[in-house]
Amino acid sequence: MAKKYYWLKLPSNFFVDPKIKKLRKIAGGDTYVIIFLKMMLLVINTNGILEFEGIEKTLEDELSLKLDEDENNVKVVLAFLSSNGELEEVSDEAFLLQRVPDLVGKEGDSAERVRRLRDKKKVELLHCNDIVTECNDDVTQRKRKIEDIEKDIKPSLLLSPSPQRSTLDLKSIKSFREQLSNLCPTLEFSLCGKLGYSNEHKGFCLKSGYIYSLQTKQLVDRNESFEIWQHLFQQKNEIFKYVNTQIQNQNKEENYANNNQ
């Protein structure tokens, strides 16, 4: 299985950020800042999503266990982050540390091999041009495929009268969400002109099983998320076919990189 490496890109002005300065001024503030940093590192590979797994009775207890920090100190930090717009509840068991998605850097080992390969001086120019052309064509086809899928998706039942909503197969939608998230955890897609989104909307992507808006740079709320998942579920076969094609293309590139190390 391919490895993926993550790191936290701490900005140079982190400690002069007004919110961080405010947190440090509280009695015991330095400890609170350290706990905040440890929390960000804890969710570095889930794009800032902090999930309550039920290991302990409360989120404070669970974080205290995971971070090896005092429960009361953790409770203070959570309260501060929540009241200052740094912590957002996205579900009953999931919370988003708002600034983490923009501070995370990551790279897979296959990407590292591809980059190293492209840095070699004696790669034939014609072959390089072929690779670039293929990549550009792949991106173009990907965008066209997503647009075709979106054109065929039927209007959401969420917009229908309430009696029809009871017919929704919630278990099937949940299963679809889990399958798609496992298969392509960073899938990007567009809903331009659909569900009330403008033609200029920048689209969405998946982050740790949740829908992230490329327009607002935030996770969408529960109602909007459910509406989008139901919307995508209408064309699940086409979406899975598209994703599998992308995975096959990626495997070809990785195999090429491995064979030319």
Could you state, in order of their start, the residue ranges of all structural domains in the chain? 4-102, 140-259
Answer whether CATH 1.10.10.10 is correct for domain 4-102. Answer: yes
Two tokens, residue 158: 């969420």
CB-based burial, 136-150: b 16+ in 10 Å, e otherwise: eeeeeebeebbeebb
| Ordered per-residue pLDDT tens for the chain, 261 residues | 456 677 888 889 999 999 999 999 999 899 999 999 999 999 888 888 888 888 888 889 999 999 999 999 999 999 999 899 899 887 778 888 888 888 887 655 444 555 555 555 555 545 555 555 555 665 566 556 555 544 443 333 333 333 333 344 667 787 888 888 888 888 888 888 888 888 888 889 888 778 888 888 888 877 788 888 888 888 888 888 888 887 887 777 777 777 776
Q: What is the spatial distance between Cα 138 and Cα 128, in angstroms, rounded to a whole number?
A: 15
Q: How many angstroms separate the first and last alpha carbons of the chain?
A: 18
CA-to-CA dists, residue 118 to 8, 88, 140, 249, angstroms: 26, 41, 22, 18
Provide φ and ψ at 95, rounded to 5°.
-135, 150
Write out the two tokens for 40: 């960000």
Confirm whether pTM is higher than 0.75.
no
- Which 3 state secondary structure label does DSSP give 84? coil
CA distance 146 to 238: 9
